[in-house]
């Protein structure tokens, strides 16, 4: 008799859990359909054309792969931390079984065209388009990985006890300061997930916000340089 009671409760609990999972999954399906019905990923996520998209930017270095003295370049494995708000991707959690966030392919949404200006191999932008994390408030968090080769002026006079000053300059390629502006997530490079190199050590990695007018254009462009 006890066995039958236990079996009944096991079946009841299993069915209850499956029902909750199905309901939650259905809510996400409905939310996805609602958010992306008529969504245009080519337009900036602002209600007024004069509004500026604020992109919070941070750099996390996972590995310093190589410092090539001969070819004057540095190779790094990095994560590009980016956050912004998209007013078109907001929802009320109570309408969707209290779903507060979802992950979506970044190819489906507007993303800032942040590139490494001083690349050394022609690879300006992120090539691996990971999923973005959307929150009900409209906040979008996107942290794609990348392996960059950046130009670096290297002086080997005091090798093997030399110190090199290598910079990485990030900014939008097409949007000027009136369309996209940058803010630093943190003042320094994030080294929490850094894998120590046996040959090189990162002594200092401070980020600075800059603005510049280039010969090609009349507008002013912001960048964050580490």
35: left (phi over 0), alpha (psi -120 to 50) or beta: alpha
What CATH code is carried by the domain that includes residue 168?
Answer: 2.70.170.10
The torsion angles phi and psi of 120, rounded to 5 degrees, stand at: -110, 0
H/E segment holding residue 151: strand 145-151
- Looking at residue 120, its pLDDT comes to 86
Dig out the tokens for 17 from the structure: 């859990």
Residues contacting residue 172 through CB under 8 Å, at least 6 positions apart:
55, 112, 113, 114, 115, 179, 180, 182, 221, 222
For the stretch 150-172, pLDDT in tens is 988 877 665 666 677 899 999 99
- The rounded distance, in Å, linking the Cα atoms of 102 and 94 is 15
For the stretch 182-198, pLDDT in tens is 999 999 999 999 988 77
Q: What's the pLDDT band for 17 if we cut at 50, 70, 90?
A: very low
Does residue 10 lie within any of the structural domains?
no
What's the pTM? 0.83
- The mean pLDDT of the chain is 88
Burial letters 183-213, b for 16+ CB under 10 A, else e: ebeeeebbeeebeeeeeeeeeebebeeeeee
Q: What's the pLDDT band for 14 if we cut at 50, 70, 90?
A: low
- The rounded distance, in Å, linking the Cα atoms of 57 and 55 is 6
Does residue 90 lie within any of the structural domains?
yes
- The rounded distance, in Å, linking the Cα atoms of 208 and 152 is 17
In DSSP terms, which residues pair with 75 in a beta bridge? 66, 149
Does residue 130 lie within any of the structural domains?
yes
The boundaries of the domain holding residue 154 are: 39-225
Does residue 129 lie within any of the structural domains?
yes
Does residue 20 lie within any of the structural domains?
no
Does residue 59 lie within any of the structural domains?
yes
Q: What's the pLDDT band for 15 if we cut at 50, 70, 90?
A: low
Number of folded domains that form the chain: 1
Does residue 7 lie within any of the structural domains?
no
């Amino acid at each position: 008799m006890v066995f039958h009671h236990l079996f009944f409760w096991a079946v009841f609990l299993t069915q209850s859990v499956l029902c909750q999972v199905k309901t939650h999954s259905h809510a996400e399906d409905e939310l996805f359909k609602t958010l992306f019905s008529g969504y245009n990923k080519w337009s900036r996520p602002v209600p007024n054309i004069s509004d500026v998209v604020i992109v919070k930017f941070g750099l996390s270095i996972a590995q310093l792969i190589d410092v090539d003295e001969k070819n004057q370049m540095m190779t790094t494995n990095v994560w590009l931390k980016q956050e912004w708000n998209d007013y078109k991707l907001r929802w009320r959690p109570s309408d969707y079984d209290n779903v507060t966030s979802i992950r979506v392919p970044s190819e489906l949404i507007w993303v800032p065209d942040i590139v490494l200006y001083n690349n050394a191999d022609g690879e300006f932008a992120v090539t691996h388009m990971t999923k973005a994390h959307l929150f009900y408030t409209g906040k979008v968090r996107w942290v794609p990985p990348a392996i960059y080769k950046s130009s670096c002026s290297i002086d080997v006079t005091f090798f093997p006890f030399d110190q090199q000053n290598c910079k990485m300059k990030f900014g939008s390629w097409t949007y000027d300061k009136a369309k996209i502006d940058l803010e630093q997530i943190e003042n320094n490079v994030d080294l929490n997930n850094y894998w120590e190199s046996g040959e090189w050590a990162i002594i200092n990695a401070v980020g600075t916000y800059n603005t510049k007018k280039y010969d090609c254009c009349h507008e002013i462009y912001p960048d964050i340089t580490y």
